[in-house]
Structure 1
Amino acid sequence: MLGMSARRTAIIGGLMVATGPLSLTLYSPALPTIVADFGTTDAAGKLTLTVYFAAFALAQLICGPLSDRYGRRAVGLAFFAIYVLGSLIGAMAPSLEILFLGRFVQGFGVSAGVALSRAMVRDQFVGGEAIRILTLINLILTVTPAVAPTLGSVILLMGSWHHMFLVMAGFGLAILALLSWGARETLPPENRVPFRPGIVFGNYRQLLSSPDFLFPSLLLGLTFSGFHGFTALLPFIFIDDMGLTPFQFAMAMLAQTGSFIAGNLATGFLSSRVPPSRLVTIALVSLVVSGIGFAVLPVLYPQSVIAIMVPVGVWMFGLAFISPSATAAAMAGFGAIAGAAGALTGFFQVGGGFAGSLAAGTLFPDARTALTIQLPVVAALTVGVALADRWRRR
């Protein structure tokens, strides 16, 4: 039987996508501990995030076209098996180099979550209904970042950071079980596209040459570069600079998750009542306010957790609005190559995260300086891209 209900698509897609942030937020409280255990630098610790993002972004470009050829379910099973392998490598890592390898393999496998969930939605839903399903996926996605930092802190209190990777492996095995027994294929055999280099590159060229695809994808990339930029910075500011314990850090992160949940609830309520362009406008206003907050509040109140978490929360509220709207807009006209379109939107999103975390870890002398400069710049660039897109559509 082909196809799934909206609820089943949202649950399975949401859990697949949640694996990506699980591998970040469960792990983030341990970054200073990992740096200390391996006797390395903060920059090297941040590079474990960068390696993960690089593999995550690039592997999507393979995963999407493979799913256009072999179907969403089979490719999902293969890639999440790779994710489990990477998690086990991380769990046994005796050195920073092996940890880099584990994070790379993890990122390669988990790329299926973003690419395939979006393709599964586009296979079955369009327009406002697609935005509603993508918003449901985002709501499910928020549960993992809410729980994972606290769980990671508890694991650190009870044992080693290596055990975090065993938890990740268990989550990957649960996704494999869900795909095996709970998922149905959404791509009919007659709609499948051959997996040949000429066709794959041709499809990507078609997508990249279309402004209707490119501008929403750039919005995704920029907003997520900001999100992953401060994700890489906050553990070092709160734990190293301000002296918070990993558990206190996890509690502070609840403000981020709460804002994202509130934004998703608001998006779900408004998606059937206002046009998608209005949702993007709300997101842009939020990003402007957040960017100003990042530039001003941490400077005025250098030892205040609230001064940092307020702009973080406002950014997450805006991200909840822009993510489903921009994703649906980018994929709307490309149902015949939904796997490639989902992969390329994911590449922009995760590639933005890669660029954001890399810039945060390498371009600035310390984490606090990066936070107060990088985030306002990203907010300004995002607004600039959105205004250019609106000018083009007139």
Structure 2
Amino acid sequence: MTESTTVGMSARRTAVIGGLMVATGPLSLTLYSPALPTIVGDFATNDAAGKLTLTVYFAAFALAQLICGPLSDRYGRRSIGIAFFAIYVVGSLVGALAPTLEILFLGRFIQGFGVSAGVALSRAMVRDQFVGSEAIRILTLVNLILTVTPAVAPTLGSVILLWGSWHVMFVVMAGFGLAILALMGLGARETLPIERRMPFRPRTVLDNYRTLVSAPDFVFPALLLGLTFAGFHGFTALLPFIFINEMGLTPFQFAMAMLVQTASFITGNLIVGALSRRVTAQFLVSIALALLAVSGAGFALLPNLFPHSVIAIMAPVGLWMLGLAFVSPSATTAAMAGFGAIAGAAGALTGFFQVGGGFVGSLVAGTAFSDARTALVVQLPATAVITLFVALLDRQRKRA
């Protein structure tokens, strides 16, 4: 693996490269989501099997981070990023050529494995160089860049379905992965100096993870991340089936509805960016919890009161995304703050909680309920309640 001769990057370059790396994950979800009902029809299967293509992706995404992070602590962020995004490109091509649902599952698994580098390494790159409010500001910039892809991808996916098949979507994903590889090879610099690298030994890796999971200052923020992303990916798995199959929206109309989600996340990140140097991270988390509470109540009530209204569903979705924008950079920074010596492992484990939450959210949404609408009005309020309970426990712990 090659080494970069120059160590360290500016805040802007770190944010741009980290944001584009992280954006690959949502690209593989939001570009693909309008095609889920079509894929179900093409393979003559059921909705649960279609949703499982998301679950397989999440499972690989979550587990691979536990390998990616420690490898980057040993070999550096840049070289491991290049290796993992090459794996992502291979998985995208497998998906593009998939003749059966089983091969599509395989392609999604390989994709998830490779794309895990985006979350784990972008956070480690920030932690290598920045702390405190500066880290929150950069992670907020990463989130802002991240929102561009989900804003464009559903519309692009819908256009692809108008003019071609869902297989072309995976070709587009492969092209994005190749662009990331070029960026990593030509524009990125290593952020972890050789003298700060740690041996890659199974016992050392396990000891590092044991240190993290036994530290309440890590676990509680990581749990908040996991729960908020469980809600996000729960409704991500459900909305195509509610809007397209049940309510009769076209894929393009679905993409237009999803702009509410993207606009809310962009707005939240802009507000957090403006506030991050003026208020504490705890204050940002408090705002997030209030938004999630209102969103959970909205999911419980509005879809039942107005069963044919898109707004009745997208209003609580928008509030959830606002809350996600407030909690994500603050909780990530809090979880990693005391673990700079093992930033790769800490970034990987926060990513595991985040993507693991997405895995659980999409799995429960796809398998535990008789239909998508029931899942939406039960699962999302329950997730909001659990999130508030975890936050309350954390505050009582800190007072004690």
Aligned pair 1:335/2:348, yes or no? Answer: no
Partner residue in 1 for 2:208: 203
Partner residue in 2 for 1:272: 277
Partner residue in 2 for 1:351: 356
Counterpart of 2:24 (choices 19, 22, 37) is 19
Partner residue in 1 for 2:184: 179
How many Å separate the matches in 2 of 1:76 and 1:247?
34
1:236 aligned counterpart, secondary structure: helix
Aligned pair 1:237/2:261, yes or no? Answer: no
Mapping of 1:41-190 within 5 angstroms?
41-190=46-195
Aligned pair 1:371/2:372, yes or no? Answer: no
Residue type of the alignment partner of 1:304: S
Q: How far off its partner does 1:393 sit?
A: 0.5
1:3 aligned counterpart, secondary structure: coil
Q: How far off its partner does 1:59 sit?
A: 0.1
The CA deviation string for residues 204-223 of structure 1, in whole angstroms up to 9 with x for no partner, is 00000000000000000000
Residue type of the alignment partner of 1:85: V
What TM-score do the two structures reach when normalised by structure 2? Answer: 0.98
Q: How far off its partner does 1:182 sit?
A: 0.1
How many Å separate the matches in 2 of 1:316 and 1:193?
37
How many Å separate the matches in 2 of 1:297 and 1:43?
25
How many Å separate the matches in 2 of 1:330 and 1:32?
38
1:187 aligned counterpart, secondary structure: coil
How many Å separate the matches in 2 of 1:352 and 1:318?
16
What TM-score do the two structures reach when normalised by structure 1? Answer: 1.00
Counterpart of 1:392 (choices 376, 391, 397) is 397
1:268 aligned counterpart, secondary structure: helix
How many Å separate the matches in 1 of 2:394 and 2:167?
45
Q: How far off its partner does 1:254 sit?
A: 0.2
Residue type of the alignment partner of 2:281: P
Residue type of the alignment partner of 2:132: G
How many Å separate the matches in 2 of 1:89 and 1:256?
30
How many Å separate the matches in 2 of 1:168 and 1:193?
33
How many Å separate the matches in 2 of 1:161 and 1:365?
27
Task: Report the aligned-residue RMSD.
Answer: 0.2
Report sequence identity in percent: 80
Q: How far off its partner does 1:130 sit?
A: 0.3
Partner residue in 1 for 2:317: 312
How many Å separate the matches in 2 of 1:162 and 1:16?
22
2:258 aligned counterpart, secondary structure: helix
Runs ≥4 in structure 1, deviation > 2 angstroms? none
The CA deviation string for residues 341-381 of structure 1, in whole angstroms up to 9 with x for no partner, is 00000000000000000000000000000000000000000
Q: How far off its partner does 1:20 sit?
A: 0.1
Q: How far off its partner does 1:336 sit?
A: 0.3
1:176 aligned counterpart, secondary structure: helix
Partner residue in 1 for 2:265: 260
How many Å separate the matches in 2 of 1:161 and 1:51?
18
How many Å separate the matches in 2 of 1:383 and 1:13?
29
How many Å separate the matches in 2 of 1:302 and 1:30?
23
Unaligned runs of 5+ in 1: none
